[in-house]
């Protein structure tokens, strides 16, 4: 039945977290169809059932991406856990048999879905705002721009920037652009805190050659982290250079240094120390940050100016996530911020089901023994979970 004689359906079904999915997998048509239905239900959902539907399609798509052979016969789809025996299996079967699914094509061209897709491509907009805009009669990105004043969005809101920089932010960020920005940010952080460790996470670490943003993870010892507030310092430095268009900094209030000293396992307070900052950087098109036009962004009233400036500008806006983690959290933060999202969902579910562990990007907590499991590397995390190690590029669920 299977072209791959080593393929063992029982083993494939036994543990989803053991599967590997490379970007260049063998069932792109089926996965694309199932991912479209996932996107449809996650954007256009009305009820909790619809949301569950989206998750079911996400699992089904992931399963197909993990198959180590190209499906040529619908019988090869039978019995695959996560593909189920209903909707997803039916669609996958249609694609294998005829390369076409009526339902997928109808949804793909669904007017409401198309508008929701456009709206959700505005930075800061999710399904609930999309729904509101749709109900107001908006349909296109042009409508949003034209009727922005009626949308009840304050000028300093991230959505204002999302609209103003719609084209920039929907232009894929290329690997080389991400790498240049990453190096620049790393050098800057090292000047502030020489012991800092950084990594470029997200899709690029999984092997993608372009993406919607750059995800930079920082790691530093607990104490230094508290003294420096490194992410804020990095943001301020970037701001000084006139590179920040918009940023939102959040920092959970955790125990102060003194208290941390008395806490033997800092990972226990892990969650409190996660720093997340989202930055839109002006990305210099020529690759040289110091040749940038300087601008004062401390007041956001220049919005209209941004909107107009879409020709012959020396820079464009890109999305950057800067994430801080302490040394003890680092391997967990790496897994969490490497993604992809569905892979992490699956890992977290497995940790809960198999061991009653709670896995997050700040640590792994054993709920029975009431303790945090320490890890030096990502491999340690896989060991804790009794899973084979998976390379980042095998995590493209």
Number of residues that bind Mn ion (CB under 5 A): 6
CB of 210 to Mn ion, least distance (A): 10
Choose the one of ligand GTP, Mn ion, none that binds residue 120, judging by a C-beta under 5 to 8 angstroms depending on kind: none
Angle at 338 between CA 77 and CA 265, to 5 degrees: 120
For 206-225, b/e burial (b = at least 16 CB within 10 A) is: bbbeebbbbbbbbbbbbebb
The residue whose two tokens read 């996470």 is: 201
> Is residue 336 within the footprint of ligand GTP (CB under 6 A)?
yes
Nearer to ligand GTP, 148 or 283 (CB): 283
The Cα diameter of the chain in Å comes to 66
Q: Are 159 and 144 in contact, with CB atoms under 8 Å apart?
A: no
Interface with ligand GTP includes 184 (CB under 6 A)?
no
Stretch that binds ligand GTP, among 67-75, 109-117, 211-219, 306-314 (CB under 6 A): 211-219
With CB under 6 A as the contact rule, which of the stretches 89-97, 115-123, 324-332, 335-343 interacts with ligand GTP?
335-343
Query: Tokens 């899709």 — which residue?
Result: 203
CA distances from 230 to 111, 193, 220, 251, 274 (A): 45, 8, 9, 11, 11
Q: Are 244 and 235 contacting, i.e. CB atoms less than 8 angstroms apart?
A: yes
Told to check if 390 binds ligand GTP by CB under 6 A, we report no
394 lies in the site for Mn ion, by CB under 5 A = no
Q: Establish if 162 lies at the interface with Mn ion (CB under 5 A).
A: no
The one among 20, 132, 155, 212 contacting ligand GTP by CB under 6 A = 212
Q: What share of the chain is helix, strand, coil (3-state, %, to 5)?
A: 50, 15, 35
Distance CA 245, CA 238 (A): 10
User: Measured from the CB of residue 230, what is the shortest distance to ligand GTP in angstroms?
Assistant: 18
CA distance 41 to 55: 9
Q: Parallel, antiparallel, or unpaired: how do β-strands 315-326 and 214-220 relate?
A: parallel
- Residue 80's region, left for phi above 0, alpha for psi from -120 to 50, else beta, is beta
In the complex, minimum distance from the CB of residue 121 to ligand GTP, in angstroms, rounded to a whole number: 11
Residue 35 touches ligand GTP, criterion: CB under 6 A: no
Q: Binding string, 354-373, against ligand GTP, x = CB under 6 A? A: -------x------------
The distance of closest approach from Cβ of residue 277 to ligand GTP in the complex, given in angstroms and rounded to an integer, is 11
By beta-carbon proximity to ligand GTP, the closer residue of 66 and 92 is 66
- If binding is defined by CB under 6 A, does position 177 make contact with ligand GTP? no
211 binds ligand GTP (CB under 6 A): yes
Number of residues that bind ligand GTP (CB under 6 A): 15
Binding site for Mn ion (CB under 5 A): 202-203, 211, 213, 215, 321
Binding site for ligand GTP (CB under 6 A): 202-203, 208, 211-213, 215, 276, 336-337, 339-341, 344, 361
């Amino acid at each position: 039945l299977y072209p791959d004689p080593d393929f063992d359906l029982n083993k494939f079904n036994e543990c989803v977290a053991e599967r590997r999915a490379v970007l260049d997998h063998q069932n792109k048509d089926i996965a694309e169809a199932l991912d479209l239905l996932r996107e449809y239900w996650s954007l256009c959902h009305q009820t909790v059932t619809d949301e569950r539907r989206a998750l079911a399609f996400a699992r089904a798509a992931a399963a197909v991406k993990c198959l180590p052979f190209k499906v040529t016969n619908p019988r090869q789809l039978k019995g695959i856990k996560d593909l189920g025996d209903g909707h997803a299996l039916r669609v996958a079967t249609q694609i294998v048999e005829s390369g076409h699914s009526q339902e997928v094509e109808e949804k793909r061209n669904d007017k409401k879905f198309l508008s929701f897709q456009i709206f959700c491509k505005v930075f800061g907009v999710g399904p609930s705002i999309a729904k509101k805009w749709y109900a107001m009669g908006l349909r296109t990105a042009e409508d949003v721009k034209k009727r922005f004043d009626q949308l009840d969005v304050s000028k300093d809101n991230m959505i204002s920037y999302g609209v103003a920089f719609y084209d920039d932010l929907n232009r894929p960020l290329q690997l080389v652009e991400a790498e240049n920005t990453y190096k620049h940010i790393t050098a800057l952080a090292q000047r502030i805190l020489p012991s800092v460790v950084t990594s470029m996470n997200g899709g690029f670490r999984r092997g993608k050659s372009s993406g919607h943003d750059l995800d930079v993870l920082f790691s530093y010892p607990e104490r230094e982290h508290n003294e420096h507030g490194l992410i804020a310092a990095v943001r301020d430095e970037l701001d000084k250079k006139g590179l920040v268009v918009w940023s939102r900094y959040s920092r959970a209030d955790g125990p102060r240094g003194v208290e941390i000293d008395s806490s033997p396992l800092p990972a226990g307070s892990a969650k409190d120390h996660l720093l997340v900052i989202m930055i839109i950087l002006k990305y210099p098109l020529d690759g040289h940050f110091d040749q940038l036009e300087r601008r004062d962004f401390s007041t956001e009233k220049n919005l209209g100016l941004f909107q107009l400036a879409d020709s012959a500008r020396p820079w464009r806006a890109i999305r950057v996530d800067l994430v801080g983690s302490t040394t003890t959290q680092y391997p967990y933060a790496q897994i969490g911020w490497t993604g992809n999202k569905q892979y992490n969902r699956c890992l977290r579910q497995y940790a809960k089901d198999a061991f009653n562990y709670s896995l997050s990007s700040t640590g792994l907590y054993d709920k029975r023994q009431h303790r945090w499991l320490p890890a030096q590397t990502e491999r340690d995390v896989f060991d804790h979970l009794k899973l084979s190690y998976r390379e980042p590029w095998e995590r493209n669920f």
